[in-house]
């Protein structure tokens, strides 16, 4: 996981914001999932696989964020995977993560059942009867799994052009009619994609999530982004550290002035973004000066002048002239 994804995940993992994200996607903005009903879950899932030689290999997968949502009527696991680039095997990745989480549940259910069975036996109590099928399955007929809803939060600047389900990944070369017959028997697995920059109904999200998601629409235009920041100056002048780091990832900022010293303070992102653009202008001017210097060196070399003479005439050090000649492969 890259540093950008880490910052985005820290930001999204705040319970109010996490609930806001899922309420927007699942319930159209209705506040059904409440922050106080969310509980953080261990993001690590593991399975043990035996190879042909009989050796066991443990495979682990790490979720970006996963929480248990429990209210009076519902118990669901809510998971999120953040992506700044298109993942062309995402349906398989999400299916694998979900499958491993279900495997973990099955394994834990069986372990808990066996632990209770041992306690009952020790206490001289009657033992629950298991059928051969239940013992073989390591899963009782009455056992149930907690369902998992996984989102893919994609915040890349290019539109998502990857598959959104397993069918998109399959190589089916028959006719449309033939493929349709096969699809009746081919299990599909779709991803719940949130293409953050291109959300059409961002209004169904609330609070700072709506403000930041709307901001993504304008990040490729200096003028539009500046206008939007100024229109929402009250928000952007007082941003908490986690939000500032998420904005840093969303806007591909190298750094935010004073970020290391102000982790416990509110940050003025209006000022930070303006400085980002000012630094960009300075970089552009500096690059322009270097290109002009290279052209001058080229002309003077073509006239047969030595490096020492060129350095003296251009009032630059011999080392700088040599480096620029090397960069341009000027001979």
Compute the distance between CA of residue 20 and CA of residue 29 in angstroms, rounded to an integer.
Answer: 8
pLDDT confidence band for 281 (50 / 70 / 90)? very low
| Cα-based angle 288, 293, 294 (whole degrees, multiple of 5) | 100
Query: Do residues 9 and 86 both lie within one domain?
Result: yes
Q: Is residue 91 part of a domain?
A: yes
Query: Do residues 22 and 165 both lie within one domain?
Result: yes
For the chain, state the CA radius of gyration. 29
Query: Do residues 149 and 31 both lie within one domain?
Result: yes
Question: How do residues 211-270 score in pLDDT, each as one tens digit?
Answer: 999 999 998 888 899 899 999 999 998 999 999 999 999 988 877 766 666 666 788 888
Mean pLDDT of the chain, nearest integer: 88
**Rounded to the nearest 10 degrees, how much is the dihedral formed by the CA atoms of 31, 32, 33, 37?**
110
Query: Do residues 288 and 197 both lie within one domain?
Result: no
pLDDT of 91 strictly over 90: yes
Q: Is residue 265 part of a domain?
A: no
Query: Do residues 284 and 213 both lie within one domain?
Result: no
Domain residue limits at 289: 279-328
Final residue of a structural domain among 217, 240, 270:
217
- Closest by CA to 163, choosing from 171, 9, 155, is 171
Q: Report the SS3 class of residue 66.
A: strand
How far is residue 92 from each of residues 57, 97, 156, measured CA to CA in Å?
Answer: 21, 9, 20
Q: Write the burial class of residue 216 (CB in 10 Å: 0-12 exposed, 13-18 middle, 19+ buried).
A: buried
Query: Do residues 194 and 284 both lie within one domain?
Result: no
Which DSSP state fits 165? B
- Closest by CA to 205, choosing from 31, 4, 77, is 31
pLDDT confidence band for 272 (50 / 70 / 90)? confident
Q: Is residue 70 part of a domain?
A: yes
Q: Is residue 292 part of a domain?
A: yes
């Amino acid at each position: 996981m890259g540093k950008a994804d880490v910052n985005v995940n820290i930001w999204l993992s705040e319970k109010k914001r996490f609930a806001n994200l899922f309420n927007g996607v699942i319930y159209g903005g209705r506040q059904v999932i409440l922050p106080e009903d969310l509980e953080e879950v261990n993001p690590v899932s593991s399975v043990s696989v035996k190879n042909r030689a009989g050796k066991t290999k443990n495979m682990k997968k790490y979720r970006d964020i996963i929480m248990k949502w429990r209210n009076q009527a519902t118990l669901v696991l809510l998971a999120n995977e953040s992506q700044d680039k298109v993942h062309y095997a995402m349906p398989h990745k999400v299916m694998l993560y979900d499958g491993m989480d279900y495997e973990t549940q099955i394994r834990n259910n069986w372990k808990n059942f066996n632990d209770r069975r041992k306690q009952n036996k020790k206490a001289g109590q009657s033992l629950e009867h298991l059928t051969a099928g239940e013992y073989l399955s390591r899963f009782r007929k009455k056992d149930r799994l907690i369902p998992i809803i996984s989102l893919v939060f994609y915040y890349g600047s290019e539109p998502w052009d990857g598959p959104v389900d397993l069918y998109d990944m399959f190589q089916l070369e028959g006719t449309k009619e033939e493929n349709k017959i096969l699809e009746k028997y081919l299990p599909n697995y779709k991803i719940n994609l949130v293409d953050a920059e291109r959300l059409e109904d961002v209004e169904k999200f609330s609070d700072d999530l709506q403000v930041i998601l709307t901001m993504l629409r304008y990040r490729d235009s200096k003028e539009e982004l500046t206008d939007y920041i100024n229109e929402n100056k009250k928000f952007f002048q007082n941003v908490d550290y986690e939000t500032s780091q998420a904005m840093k990832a969303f806007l591909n900022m190298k750094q935010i002035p004073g970020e290391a010293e102000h982790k416990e303070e509110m940050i003025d992102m209006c000022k930070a973004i303006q400085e980002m653009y000012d630094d960009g202008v300075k970089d552009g001017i500096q690059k322009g000066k270097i290109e002009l210097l290279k052209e001058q060196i080229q002309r003077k070399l073509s006239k047969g002048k030595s490096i020492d003479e060129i350095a003296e005439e251009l009032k630059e050090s011999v080392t700088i002239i040599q480096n620029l000649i090397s960069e341009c492969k000027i001979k």
